[in-house]
């Protein structure tokens, strides 16, 4: 597994989505994303490695469409282990007639973007060689064209056989209300700023990754969170390496007047934009 998505770092590990049409969503997440249902009931847990959930979906009562100009999910990003896997995935989504809504060579990664049937943004990407991510301590993240032809021909003849087991939730990218307020919060959680696009988007990571979390104000400034029964992101989980670290974070969150609700060994909090986060070991 990627060394940027394991302890001792803290990193996003899974997310829960609220959906309008459970059946259709399950079809998307199993047939298009190639995840496997590992638990079902009120919520469905879908996994790449058959052990850890990557995406959890549920249908809330009285589900409504997410109002525009609210905070929440911009996209979540699944990191594949290799370029070959990325090429295979592109061939697969094209076979399934899924629209690719964007693609880019970000320097640090090669990525393409799709949406699930309810409009949740999904980035599928593979990292480039980490030696080239930072130049003189500055993150070189760009938006150049993605070489679809090369990636697709790399994987030509390879049969897609579902989400690779090593795939992880590489990063979360959120809509927020205010960059500075959210910067303070994510710094308190122990993330460091790797890139700032002033008045636009900030990127944060731990341990020298290009980014575990991105947030932007592209959906508007000082916008409210969506109502509880709106479809879209319910929460995402950040894994913390030890109980001591988790307790320390809880203490810091309380001292700084952020929401904390403890349930078993999990702590629910919210960033200042109202995006829910579960902190757990
Ligand atoms: Fe992204």
Other residues' Cβ atoms within 10 Å of the Cβ of residue 142: 10
Whether residue 16 contacts residue 43, with contact meaning beta carbons closer than 8 Å, is answered with yes
- Give the SS3 label for residue 192: strand
Q: What is the mean pLDDT of residues 23-51?
A: 98
Residue 2: per-residue pLDDT: 82
The pLDDT tens digits for 191-222 are: 999 999 999 999 999 999 999 999 999 999 99
Residue 1: per-residue pLDDT: 59
Residue written as token pair 């980490």: 130
DSSP annotation of 116 reads -
Residue 193 C-alpha to ligand 1 middle, in angstroms? 15
The pLDDT tens digits for 111-166 are: 999 999 999 999 999 999 999 999 999 999 999 999 999 999 999 999 899 999 99
- pTM (2 decimals)? 0.97
Beta bridge partners of 72: 175
Residue 171 in tokens: 């990063």
- Banded model confidence at residue 187, pLDDT cuts 50, 70, 90: very high
Fold of 3-280: 2,3-Dihydroxybiphenyl 1,2-Dioxygenase; domain 1 (3.10.180)
Residue 211 C-alpha to ligand 1 middle, in angstroms? 9
Whether residue 54 contacts residue 47, with contact meaning beta carbons closer than 8 Å, is answered with yes
Residue 5 in tokens: 């998505």
Whether residue 111 contacts residue 104, with contact meaning beta carbons closer than 8 Å, is answered with yes
Residue 150: per-residue pLDDT: 98
Other residues' Cβ atoms within 10 Å of the Cβ of residue 240: 24
Residue 41 C-alpha to ligand 1 middle, in angstroms? 30
Query: How many helices and strands in the chain, by DSSP H and E?
Result: 5, 18
Residue 128 C-alpha to ligand 1 middle, in angstroms? 14
Q: How far apart are CA 16 and CA 281, in angstroms?
A: 17
Residue 13 C-alpha to ligand 1 middle, in angstroms? 15
Residue 245: per-residue pLDDT: 97
Whether residue 90 contacts residue 112, with contact meaning beta carbons closer than 8 Å, is answered with yes
Q: How far apart are CA 229 and CA 10, in angstroms?
A: 29
Residue 75 C-alpha to ligand 1 middle, in angstroms? 6
Query: 238 pLDDT exceeds 80?
Result: yes
Residue 213 C-alpha to ligand 1 middle, in angstroms? 8
Q: What is the mean pLDDT of residues 77-99?
A: 97
Query: 228 pLDDT exceeds 80?
Result: yes
Q: Taking the CA of residue 227 as centre, how many other CA atoms within 13 Å lie in the half-sphere pointing to its CB?
A: 10
Residue 10 C-alpha to ligand 1 middle, in angstroms? 18
Residue 175 C-alpha to ligand 1 middle, in angstroms? 12
Residue 180: per-residue pLDDT: 98
Mean of all residue pLDDT scores within the chain = 97
Residue 236 C-alpha to ligand 1 middle, in angstroms? 15
Residue 234 in tokens: 């319910």
Query: 66 pLDDT exceeds 80?
Result: yes
Residue 103 C-alpha to ligand 1 middle, in angstroms? 11
Which residue in 165, 161, 169 sits closest to 55, CA to CA? 169
């Amino acid at each position: 597994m990627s060394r940027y998505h394991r302890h001792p770092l803290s990193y996003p590990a899974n997310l829960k989505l609220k959906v309008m049409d459970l059946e259709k969503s399950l079809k998307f997440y199993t047939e298009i994303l190639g995840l496997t249902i590992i638990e079902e009931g009120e919520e469905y847990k879908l996994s790449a490695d058959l052990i850890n959930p990557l995406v959890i979906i549920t249908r809330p009562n009285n589900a409504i469409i997410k109002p525009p100009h609210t905070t929440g999910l911009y996209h979540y990003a699944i990191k594949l282990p290799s370029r070959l896997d990325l090429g295979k995935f592109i061939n697969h989504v094209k076979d399934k007639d899924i629209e690719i809504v964007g693609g880019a060579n970000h320097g640090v990664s090669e990525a393409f973007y799709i949406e699930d049937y309810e409009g949740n943004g999904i980035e599928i990407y593979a990292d480039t060689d980490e030696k080239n991510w930072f130049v003189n301590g500055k993150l070189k993240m760009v938006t150049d064209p993605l070489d679809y032809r090369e990636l697709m021909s790399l994987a030509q003849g390879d049969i897609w056989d579902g989400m690779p087991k090593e795939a992880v939730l590489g990063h979360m990218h959120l809509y927020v209300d205010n960059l500075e307020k959210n910067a303070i919060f994510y710094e308190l959680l122990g993330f460091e700023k790797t890139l700032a696009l002033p008045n636009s988007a900030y990127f944060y990571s731990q341990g020298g990754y290009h980014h575990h979390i991105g947030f932007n104000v592209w959906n508007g400034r000082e916008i409210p969170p969506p109502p509880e029964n709106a479809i879209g992101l319910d929460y995402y989980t950040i894994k913390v390496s030890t109980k001591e670290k988790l307790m320390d974070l809880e203490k810091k969150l309380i001292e700084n007047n952020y929401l904390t609700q403890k349930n078993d060994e999990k702590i629910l909090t919210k960033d200042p934009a109202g995006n829910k986060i579960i902190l757990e070991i």
